[in-house]
Structure 1
Amino acid sequence: MIIETWCRLRAGMTAFALLATMVAGSTSELRADEVRLKLHTYVPLSVPPMQHLLKPWADHLSQASGGKLKIDIYPLMQLGGRQPQLVDQVKDGVVDMVWTLLGATPGRFPRTEVFELPFTHRSTLATNLALRDMLPKELADDFKDYKILLLHVHAGNAIHMKDAAVERFDQFKLKKIRSPGQISTEMLEAIGATPIATTLTDVSSMMSRGVIDGALLPFDVLPSIKLNSLVRYHVLMAGDQRPTTAVFMLAMNKKSYESLSPDLQKLIDDSTGIEMSKKAAEVMDRFDQLGMKASKDGGATFITLSAEETAKVRQASESVVAAWAKKLDAAGGNAQQVLSRAQELGAKYSPKAGQ
């Protein structure tokens, strides 16, 4: 009886082991069929480009591939390093993808900096489409180490002042204004202001303590850093043009891309076409308008410099363009060709073109 019971138990255990082996084998096959890519970024998942552009894109890839391709997004530098290191992390294959701000590594992408030069940026859509057109030729040398999926900008920077109602060019003199990057720093110096470099998260506290008088920022970030309640005056340029913007890139490691099957490569290529450039513009513009509305609802005053005063800002900023051109030419680039093409395409794709 004992032997019979033992034999039945042993048979049951053998059957269970066989079933477990079959299930494990099936799971292994499913996992072998799935590709997971790591996307590293410096921002939280709550910001508009993550919530309304990259997260939906990752979800689309998963769905369209039948679950074969998964993009795991790691925000706030969760995989280690600092923001300026993202471009090397993806180049060296530490991660598969990054979404980052090119201005975090000044001088690393000198041709693409043309769109951050004062008054080159015409509109979010126009600049996104110009970036797309120039990537294969005029900007190609900047990105030879990457598989670029998307280049895009935000709606553009305005000058947000705590207490100073700046209505003339000469009133910028010695105002301490937070700068978002090297080219903006040079522009602020050119117009007589004192640029202050600080992280976005420190802007509100520094303004409340009087360390800075203002900040050069797009409107979309103001609510998230609670700057609306501190800023009384928002200074804009004539012609509804923002003086500077910032370029972001969604880049992939070349080997990570080449290791994918042709169908997954095609899926990525098809999903990062011109429609994604347009979607990026729509998202950034929509949240920029929401930021402007929040400021207006809070009682802030919007000041638009006259055409004459805006012209003075433009003229003073020409030295920034000249300095950029000199550096690019010295590095073997053709600054005039890059600048002319950027201006040509900006005009071509501008919503006001032909009006």
Structure 2
Amino acid sequence: MKSYVIHGPKDLRIDEKEERSLASDEVRLGLAYGGICGSDMHYYQDGKVGHSIVKDPMVLGHELAAVVLEVGQGVSGVSVGDRVAINPALPCGTCAMCRQGEVNVCFNMQYLGSAAKRPHSQGAFEERPVVKAHQCVILPVDADLKLAALAEPYAISLHAANLGDVAGKRVLVTGGGTIGTLAAVAALDQGASDVYVSDVHAAALERVKKLADVRTLDARNVEERVVSGELEFFDVVLEASGATQAFNTAVKVLIPKGRLIQIGFLAPEALDMNSILTKELTIRGAYRFLNEFEKAVESVLSKPELVEAVSATYDFGVTDEAFESSLDKQKHLKVMIRQEAYAS
């Protein structure tokens, strides 16, 4: 079985892996679509994401839609031939955070394609990945599998919007990439009164406007326009770019007592902490998602226009070309890999 395996920065290989038999609670899938995530791109480019460093060869991939090929002997509720979206999170269920219901910050989390722990959690960019049956969300028989593969990033965006308590609020999303775009969609879904998206790339802003009813801003002059009074202060900022300047802009353009939800991983650079103090801002990290995955599947399937977020697809087995394309944010929003045998 062929797998996308990262060995180090810019060292992505198609390795051959031996298929194993299923445990009683597992299913074998035929990968239809796999979305290349920001974390996959960081692993490819830098060999790390934040503090998660690739120390051993690791299969990438955690955004996927698939077809069930085989089920373990103890599996019920999932059948061969089912079309499924996969929740990549496997919390332990027993640690202190899981007992409190905060499973997204489980101390022992296993998340597909993550180097956060060692041994690493292997991902699902394989011809026939194996997952737990309870990770499968059954899709309608006519569901668009490409659209369903957007459920994981949408769940992350929805979680951030929920943490921001955006209903009735004036919201700025910083960063017009996949998560920023879907965060804008999620904020609108959650009842935000006004949603703006900022980015330094005009092409990114044009793509966002095609997918969501938002206003767009050049990230380089947002602070100036707010301070001058041309734009009102924002109640909530969903920071999805991971850029230090975006964080610093966010704390300047938030109204006192406002809320900043940090979604993107930040580089260890100088952050403007004084405005946090003088405005009594609430800063909160948004990490993965809590109980939003099934809602995310429902939401993306109800928005067929979101399939336009997928700007390129590459046949399974293409490595550097697909990942290099993902890094080009002038041209691409979401790049996916596809196995034609299961994608129709």
TM-score in terms of structure 1 length: 0.30
Bigger Cα Rg: 1
Higher helix share: 1
Q: Which has the higher contact order (CA 8 A, sep 6+)?
A: 1
